[in-house]
Amino acid sequence: MDSKEKINQQIDSYYNSWFEINNIYHIWAKRRGMQETTLFVLYVINNAVPYCTQSQICSKLFLPKQTVSQILSGLEKDGYILKEANTNDRRNKIIRFTAKGTLFANSILDKLKIAEIEAFNQMSEEQRRNVIESFELLSNSLIKSLSK
């Protein structure tokens, strides 16, 4: 097997792993009665500092504005979020959890974090570090090669 074939196989293996990880989150979210996009919107809102906007969610998750708008409308209808005026940018409302939303998001995101910690604990410290460093290296390499 030549070098090009080997790299092509490795890229295929990378894609298979990437798709499988996405599918794992899809199944996990579905078992909790939501789409994985909603799960990740909750994650972004929860981790946004100092606040979250629809544009930040779209940008972070690479989702269309209409998709994020529909997710936010559903969360607002269920009483999980509030949309407040943004004095810095009137085009973009600030998204905040209600008390009910904080409880809901934390109950979901805490369970997710526990599962992720369990998965990471199945690896040694060196393996965890290698996974993270490898993703960072790949990300930086892709930025260089895909921006040409």
Residues 10 and 51 in one domain: no
Q: For each successive 10 residues of the chain (148 residues), what is the average pLDDT?
A: 92 96 97 97 94 94 96 97 88 93 97 97 98 96 93
Q: Is the same domain home to 23 and 41? A: no
Same domain? For 75 and 120 the reply is: yes
Nearest to 29, CA basis, from 82, 105, 117: 105
**Strand 52-53, strand 81-84: pairing:** unpaired
The answer to whether residues 19 and 90 belong to one domain is no
Cα 32 from Cα 36, distance rounded (Å) = 10
What's the pLDDT at 88? 82
Q: pTM score, two decimals?
A: 0.89
Q: pLDDT value at position 34?
A: 96
Strands (DSSP E) contained in the chain are: 52-53, 81-84, 94-97
Number of domains in the chain: 2
Say if CB 83 and CB 93 are below 8 A apart: yes
Is the peptide bond between 50 and the residue preceding it cis, with omega within 30 degrees of 0? yes
Residues spanned by the domain of 14 = 1-31
CA–CA dist 39, 112 (Å, integer): 9
- 93 shares its domain with 43: yes
Residues 24 and 95 in one domain: no
pLDDT value of residue 49: 85
26 and 38 part of one domain: no
Please state, in angstroms and rounded to a whole number, the distance separating the CA atoms of residues 16 and 19: 5
Residue 71: per-residue pLDDT: 97
